[in-house]
Amino acid sequence: MEAAIRWARLVLAAVVVLVAAPAWADFEAGWEAAERGDYATALKELRPLAEQGVAKAQTALGLLYHIGRGVPQDSIEAVRWFRMAAEQGNAPGQTGLGGMYFYGRGVPQDDVLAQMWVNLAAAQGNELARMIRDLLAEMMTPAQLAEAQRLAREWKPKQ
């Protein structure tokens, strides 16, 4: 559980970096509410954006479900939201999804898919993903690493 909380904090840090860029007022209001612990307001602001396909909001919901803040902890639901963001090319969403694969939370444990997702995020300049990618690579066989790199090269964002 402690490792999962550390992973969630790393993803949270990646999301916070995104929030520094210009963002929608509703997203900012939702994120600020989450930081204050006002999860009812956070969900009220973030969920509609996430349902409309806003990747940052999807990543934030994935994180809330992953750590069980304002909603029951639900790894499957966390994966669902992280995946929606990741498939759009959102680096924090890709990092979150990679973590879920690494720990086998909400999905079967899969180092190759974990590496693929963090590799994609790292390619966008996400420093956290780069560090995770490099640590994961040390634990993988050359064949696993080659497969993860192939999958990352062939991956295309959903529009």
CATH number at residue 83: 1.25.40.10
pLDDT at 19 (0 to 100): 43
Number of domains into which the chain is organized: 1
Any idea which of 12-21, 44-53, 88-97 has the lowest mean pLDDT? 12-21
Q: For 3-17, 25-39, 62-76, which range has the lowest pLDDT when averaged over its residues?
A: 3-17
**Does residue 159 fall inside a structural domain?**
no
| Alpha-carbon span 128 to 59, nearest angstrom | 15
Q: Is residue 76 part of a domain?
A: yes
Residue 90's domain spans which residues?
A: 2-154
Q: Is residue 25 part of a domain?
A: yes
Judge whether 88 lies within some domain: yes
The secondary structure of residue 106, as a DSSP letter, is: S
pLDDT tier at 11, thresholds 50, 70, 90: low
In this structure, of 76-80, 86-90, 131-135, 142-146, the range with the lowest mean pLDDT score is 131-135
The per-residue pLDDT for 26 is: 77
Rounded distance between C-alpha atoms, residue 122 and residue 134, angstroms: 10
The verdict on residue 44 lying in a domain is yes
Q: How far apart are CA 73 and CA 76, in angstroms?
A: 9
